[in-house]
Amino acid sequence: MNIKTICCIGAGYVGGPTMAVIAQKCPHIKVTIVDINESRIAAWNSSDLSKLPIFEPGLDKIVEEARGRNLFFSTNIDKAIDEADMIFISVNTPTKTYGKGKGMAADLKYIELCARQIAKVSKQNKIVVEKSTLPVRTASAIKNILENTGNGVRFQILSNPEFLAEGTAVEDLLSPDRVLIGGDSSEEGKKAVQVLVDIYTNWVPKERILTTNIWSSELSKLTANAFLAQRVSSINAMSELCEKSGADVNEVSKAIGMDSRIGSKFLKASVGFGGSCFQKDILNLVYIAKTYGLEEVADYWEQVILMNEHQKQRFSDRIVSTLYNTVSGKKITFFGWAFKKDTNDTRESAAIKVADNLLSEQANIAVFDPKVVEERIYADLEHLNSRNPEENRTLLKVENDPYEASKESHAIAVLTEWDAFKTYDWKRIYNNMNKPAFIFDGRGILDIKALQKIGFVCYKIGSGS
């Protein structure tokens, strides 16, 4: 089968960049990304490339090249499904907030809606690809829905989880460590896998394309995120021990990372991991383990989340205790709100929890983030439902300039590792702050010795000195 048209349902952080790269690398394939969110689609179609709904380094160039040629963004979902030979499902799979599995299981209602819509609209055989991160064995539910339409259309279901990280999405997509494709072992299943392999070989070396059975593929995605998050929680656990013992967590990371069995990546201590996936996917893994009655497995992975919660809590506790046990009425400036640098995504960002804790202590917070807009920050706080929106707006102000944000502040808390923070005129910031002026570097990115020389009182995550 020769794929001529692709439809991707879900124009989010995964659907947008992933399909833009497929379109760029496969100009012979028409790629249409659809979404129910009209304003998101309008933003993807914006002629001003700085208005794309997602900020990712390099993405604007790719969209500029492919959009209108063989890359299209649309809200006409039925039409795109009908025309497509292959459909990627890339919708959100958040943690369930209701019913059985509330707070743990993945909410699959958006996936099911997609499957039902594909079943209803399709008139010709299609390959359906799970791009979203899903619990193991979801493909069988999708298959059931698709195969019971009675209209004779045949579907092949593949699992092709996405491993891109935000902030480096384009790089990760252009040169992935591996592409994973899971499929059925039947003749038709194998053919479908090959069709998707052929798309990726347009730019990914064959040896980096791994094919497995569908359940291994689904479970590998959850496992990869669990292992990555576990490394962050492990080094964060050590960061607390470093602070007590006089060791420096950066030195410990370096020392253990040079062991080739451990490796140096993902060993950066922080105020806690954020992002839309680590917590959601581990909770989902814990839930799956529990449903199979594997209590020890569930408890083991749950600890990664508990450690992360502890890390965020102890960072805000540290700010309060250092500022003489009260922050009531004191101005604290946040540098960074995004969950990591080079993205405007704030989902589950550690900054939200730290802000919430400090606002409960009646601190006044000023936030500066180079990419996150004011409405997003207030929406994040409102989502927590800890205070009324008015109170959030009175106690927390969003600033567009770091120097303005730190004026008359008692302390600066670094919540995101934006590179630009290292280049600021820290002397100027110091001069405009209340004294003693404190810095709480939750990302370990600043030159603490230089800041101490200026006069700052410094706390750096994982450093006992």
Is 462:249 a contact under the CB 8 Å cutoff? yes
8 strand-pairing partners: 33, 88
CA distances from 107 to 24, 64, 207, 376, 416 (A): 32, 34, 34, 23, 29
Catalytic residue among 7, 8, 242, 277: 277
Residue closest to ligand NAD when measured from CB atoms? 12
Q: What's the Rg (C-alpha) of the chain? A: 24
Please give the backbone phi and psi of residue 46, each rounded to the nearest 5 degrees, phi first. Answer: -60, 135
According to the binding rule CB under 6 A, does residue 341 interact with ligand NAD?
Answer: no
Which of helix, strand or coil describes residue 456? Answer: coil
- What are the strands, taking DSSP E only, across 35-85? 71-74
Q: For the window 268-307, what string marks contact with ligand NAD as x by the rule CB under 6 A?
A: --------xx------------------------------
Q: How far is the CB of 440 from ligand NAD (least distance, A)?
A: 27
Distance CA 25, CA 204 (A): 10
Q: Smallest Cα–Cα separation from 285: which of 233, 234, 219?
A: 219
Binding-site residue total for ligand NAD (CB under 6 A)? 27
Q: Which stretch binds ligand NAD (CB under 6 A): 10-18, 138-146, 205-213, 352-360?
A: 10-18
For every residue of 92-124, DSSP letters joined together read: --PBP-SSTTTTTSB--HHHHHHHHHHHHH--S
167 sits near ligand NAD (criterion: CB under 6 A): no
**Of residues 32, 133, 316, 333, which one binds ligand UGA by CB under 6 A?**
133
Distance, in Å, from the CA atom of 159 to the CA atom of 217, rounded to the nearest integer, reads 6
Q: The dihedral of CA 423, 425, 429, 435: what is its sign? A: positive
Q: Where are the beta strands (DSSP E) in 236-315?
A: none
Residue from the set 110, 203, 215, 266 that interacts with ligand UGA by CB under 6 A: 266
Write the single-letter amino acid at 335.
Answer: F
For residues 81 and 139, which CB has a smaller minimum distance to ligand UGA in the complex?
139
* Number of neighbouring beta carbons within 10 Å of residue 160: 20
d(CA 38, CA 80): 15
Residue 98 to residue 269: CA distance in whole angstroms: 33
Using the minimum distance from each CB to ligand NAD, give the nearer residue, 35 or 243: 35
**Residue 52 CB, nearest approach to ligand NAD (Å):** 13
Of 62-70, 193-201, 271-279, 384-392, the segment contacting ligand UGA by CB under 6 A is: 271-279
Which is closer to ligand NAD, CB of 88 or CB of 315? 88
Question: Contact letters (x/-) for ligand NAD, 118-147, by CB under 6 A?
Answer: --------------xx--------------
Q: What angle do CA 169, 96, 237 make, to 5 degrees?
A: 60
Interactions with ligand UGA, residue window 285-324 (CB under 6 A): none
Active site residue 26: no
Segment 209 to 228, residues that bind ligand UGA, using CB under 6 A? 225, 228
Nearer to ligand UGA, 92 or 406 (CB): 92
- The interface partner of residue 91, options being ligand NAD, ligand UGA, none and the CB cut-off 5 to 8 Å by kind, is ligand NAD
Q: Which does 126 bind (CB under 5 to 8 A by kind): ligand UGA, ligand NAD, none?
A: none
Could you list the residues that contact ligand UGA (CB under 6 A)?
133, 162-166, 225, 228, 232, 266-268, 270, 273-275, 277-278, 339-340
| Active-site amino acid positions | 277
